[in-house]
Chains A and B, each alone.
Chain A
């Protein structure tokens, strides 16, 4: 805690309008200068090179096909994510078994496993002889579009579950109960009352899954085979400005268009609530059907999401008994590079987390409390989302162009940090602004009327009530930074852990080595998840 005298002095300073305005202005300038504009300017700087693609019809056609593939995969995966994720969220929130909290924790695992590790794990499970292929003969699912879809489903599924679990927990059950007392069968009540009321959350979960799928690069590279989508196309042509600018610009423009369309049309989307089929829906509401649905949901979760995500741990166990483990722990041979890459990943993760907390906190307050007026604050609210929807490889590439062209003296480590700042910033600002918004203004006003200065109000009211959201947001940023692959690959030559694992896969490293390398990362992820769970549990104290 701050010493009383320093705290008092800072409190006093915070009540000066000039100081407050400076903090808000600086945070807005940093957002535009470091987070939002560099990736966009990077593309604008090299806009001329777009002709390289326009003059090569074959390349242009490949680029369009890759972009189309990106959107096709993202749409399809987001749709099945919602179809499979909603029953899972339903089961977690409405079920009575004590094991459901374990299931809730398990559903987060693919979200925090580094994506490159996840990609390799799926490759082992679906394709390699040690996985499902040992049961079904040669290569059960070969690298290609189907494996890409399975992968994208695996890592975006937890996003839908997380959003919908939150929405269902906040949902006022009385609406559904009212429908039931009026004679509606459970399915009718859900279809005509619950889902229309949760429409915004359904759209949000679809949008987030869509963005996650559209921007993912690292894991996809591991399982894509001959399949090429936008981010892979950019990665294939790394070093060539034309394809990068062309595909990045179109992906950013189209994904922006999709998001604006969803934002504008989503609320107007009508759900079919008037028509009712009492007999059919009553039959479909039977306990047998509900049990079958739950069984199928669990089957999908375990077979397509959880087991493939953790399958990489199998060779890791092999490594324990074959002498690879002592080599790894001793940093012998390739393991020296491995631990250096792990150190780099965690160093970048920590720096990025701390910087984003510092620059993101004032922005979260500006958005939540409409500090610069309703209109401008709402615009900022939309703008902070942009880094989420830009494909990470495109973001990395355009950042590289911007910084290397204009600030050649910039050390590579800073490029890496800037790229990760952009990618993780929205996660923190989103979670914090939502947390601040949930706190009644009356609490702040009560603090002020009792004599607290603005900083004092933050220290004594806002912070204690939002510290768990802040910590959760920080952990999300940290895990996202540590697992980031796509942007990292193109923005610098530094080798972080996910990049090293991609290199190992490409160079055909032994399975035990790869498995153990991934296993360590998963183990660390488990520890982080555990911390997150303990933090969330601590919330119950309130």
Chain B
């Protein structure tokens, strides 16, 4: 069955290392996402799995078969391109039945498959339409139908929703997941949109500069990020700089700018006096009007308020001049006002402590 294994796979373009010694195991029937910023190597990785490019080092297995040197037509895959790549000189029907035909299926079998997949994507009535007569969403569905019709159990999707508008994108991402689960396929989905990856994936690999930083379920990545970059890229985080002033059973005491001391979760591999970055999710803050004296509370002033529909977003300037973003449900809490004095507090369990990046915090967080 099509589980996929990559062993120490490297791909270089001149001096640029696009994929750097990647080891990865994607399980059978899993919906797996390769997530990362533009230019991180995620599409290169997918193309290596598809055989559209060859690795400089390493081995790729699909099932138990070593496919490193196998051409794409012999890998038994379905591939959905970001631009759909529907053949412009063929109508929907010819596009969809192309795979069965070139694989030498008999006419009746090809037609049966064609009808089935077009039913599945609900575009049976548009089988005569050429790609230039279809909307973006329809083209995307035909592209998925064409990949499914090839009969493979491994579906590779290269930013398949990238060219669609937000509403259609949200609808189609669940539809694609449903189809792959119904057909018991293994799917590898490349995206730079963390919300999309979180919504549809069983597991996600976060990639940066050709390297896999962390692999896990969406919840694992969100709740226990292993690096500052993951905490930043998956969801949203506030980063406060400071030093480890004490290590204790509960975790660590971090001294922030302005001498503010707060209690945080246990840091990994850090000693007293080390420079640290404290990461806190915006929705885990508690904000109260006026001055309150509780654990991990810092005084601040509301600087900006943005209404986002479900949530309301406050930008608060703390008394040590650091700034944090706080997100609260818009319909269940009383709104604060710009300029209002508030107390911001957080629980140590909702914090993550990371060593201060060698390259600098801004460079570490950069996504371009």
Point out residues on A near B: beta carbons under 8 Å. Answer: 172, 174-175, 177-186, 188-189, 192-193, 196-197, 199, 273-274, 276, 278-279
A195 CB to closest chain B CB, in angstroms?
10
**Complex interface: chain B residues within 8 A of A193 (CB):** 87
Flag if B83 contacts A174 (CB, 8 Å).
Answer: yes
**Complex interface: chain B residues within 8 A of A279 (CB):** 104
**Could you tell me the distance between the alpha carbons of A196 and B94 in the complex, rounded to whole angstroms?**
14
Flag if A178 contacts B79 (CB, 8 Å).
Answer: yes
B104 CB to closest chain A CB, in angstroms?
4
Evaluate whether A180 and B73 lie within 8 angstroms (CB atoms) in the complex, with A278-B103, A278-B104, A279-B104 already known.
Answer: yes
Flag if A179 contacts B78 (CB, 8 Å).
Answer: no
With both beta carbons as reference points, the residue of chain A lying nearest to B79 in the complex is identified as A181
Show 30 A/B contacts (Cβ-Cβ < 8 Å), sorted by A: A172-B85, A174-B81, A175-B85, A175-B87, A177-B52, A177-B72, A177-B81, A178-B81, A178-B87, A178-B146, A179-B87, A180-B51, A180-B71, A181-B50, A181-B73, A181-B75, A181-B77, A181-B78, A181-B156, A182-B103, A182-B146, A183-B76, A183-B103, A184-B73, A192-B102, A197-B89, A273-B89, A273-B90, A273-B94, A279-B104
Flag if B87 contacts A188 (CB, 8 Å).
Answer: no
- Among B75, B98, B104, the residue within 8 A (CB) of A179 is B98
**Could you tell me the distance between the alpha carbons of A368 and B363 in the complex, rounded to whole angstroms?**
47
A71 CB to closest chain B CB, in angstroms?
30
**Could you tell me the distance between the alpha carbons of A175 and B78 in the complex, rounded to whole angstroms?**
14
**Complex interface: chain B residues within 8 A of A174 (CB):** 81, 83, 85
**Complex interface: chain B residues within 8 A of A183 (CB):** 73, 76, 99, 102-103, 150
- Among A181, A197, A278, the residue within 8 A (CB) of B87 is A197
A54 CB to closest chain B CB, in angstroms?
48
**Could you tell me the distance between the alpha carbons of A185 and B70 in the complex, rounded to whole angstroms?**
12
Flag if A278 contacts B102 (CB, 8 Å).
Answer: yes
**Complex interface: chain A residues within 8 A of B71 (CB):** 180, 186
**Complex interface: chain B residues within 8 A of A179 (CB):** 87, 98, 102
Q: Which 9 residue pairs across A and B have the least CB separation, nearest first?
A: A181-B79, A182-B99, A278-B104, A184-B102, A178-B85, A174-B85, A180-B72, A183-B103, A196-B89
**Complex interface: chain B residues within 8 A of A184 (CB):** 73, 98, 102
Query: In the complex, how many residues of chain B place their beta carbon closer than 8 angstroms to a beta carbon of chain A?
Result: 29
**Could you tell me the distance between the alpha carbons of A181 and B150 in the complex, rounded to whole angstroms?**
9
Flag if A182 contacts B98 (CB, 8 Å).
Answer: yes
A35 CB to closest chain B CB, in angstroms?
36
**Complex interface: chain A residues within 8 A of B101 (CB):** 274, 276
**Could you tell me the distance between the alpha carbons of A180 and B89 in the complex, rounded to whole angstroms?**
17
Query: What 1/0 mask marks residues of chain B from 279 to 304 whose CB sits below 8 Å from any chain A CB?
Result: 00000000000000000000000000
**Complex interface: chain B residues within 8 A of A185 (CB):** 73, 102
Flag if B102 contacts A274 (CB, 8 Å).
Answer: no
**Could you tell me the distance between the alpha carbons of A174 and B81 in the complex, rounded to whole angstroms?**
8
B309 interface contact, C-beta 8 A: no
**Could you tell me the distance between the alpha carbons of A182 and B78 in the complex, rounded to whole angstroms?**
6
B14 interface contact, C-beta 8 A: no
A275 CB to closest chain B CB, in angstroms?
9
**Could you tell me the distance between the alpha carbons of A185 and B72 in the complex, rounded to whole angstroms?**
9
User: Which residues of chain B in 56-75 are interfacial with respect to chain A, using CB atoms and an 8 Å cutoff?
Assistant: 71-73, 75
**Could you tell me the distance between the alpha carbons of A527 and B98 in the complex, rounded to whole angstroms?**
50
**Complex interface: chain A residues within 8 A of B90 (CB):** 273
B155 CB to closest chain A CB, in angstroms?
10
A540 CB to closest chain B CB, in angstroms?
16
Flag if A180 contacts B52 (CB, 8 Å).
Answer: yes
**Complex interface: chain B residues within 8 A of A199 (CB):** 89
**Complex interface: chain B residues within 8 A of A196 (CB):** 89
**Complex interface: chain A residues within 8 A of B103 (CB):** 182-183, 278
**Complex interface: chain A residues within 8 A of B72 (CB):** 177, 180-181
With both beta carbons as reference points, the residue of chain A lying nearest to B104 in the complex is identified as A278
Flag if A276 contacts B104 (CB, 8 Å).
Answer: yes
Evaluate whether A188 and B77 lie within 8 angstroms (CB atoms) in the complex, with A174-B83, A178-B85, A180-B52 already known.
Answer: no
B88 interface contact, C-beta 8 A: yes
User: Which residues of chain B in 151-170 are interfacial with respect to chain A, using CB atoms and an 8 Å cutoff?
Assistant: 156
User: Which residues of chain B in 78-134 are interfacial with respect to chain A, using CB atoms and an 8 Å cutoff?
Assistant: 78-79, 81, 83, 85, 87-90, 94, 98-99, 101-104
With both beta carbons as reference points, the residue of chain A lying nearest to B72 in the complex is identified as A180
A183 CB to closest chain B CB, in angstroms?
4
**Complex interface: chain A residues within 8 A of B99 (CB):** 182-183
**Complex interface: chain A residues within 8 A of B94 (CB):** 273-274
Evaluate whether A182 and B150 lie within 8 angstroms (CB atoms) in the complex, with A177-B72, A188-B102, A276-B104 already known.
Answer: yes
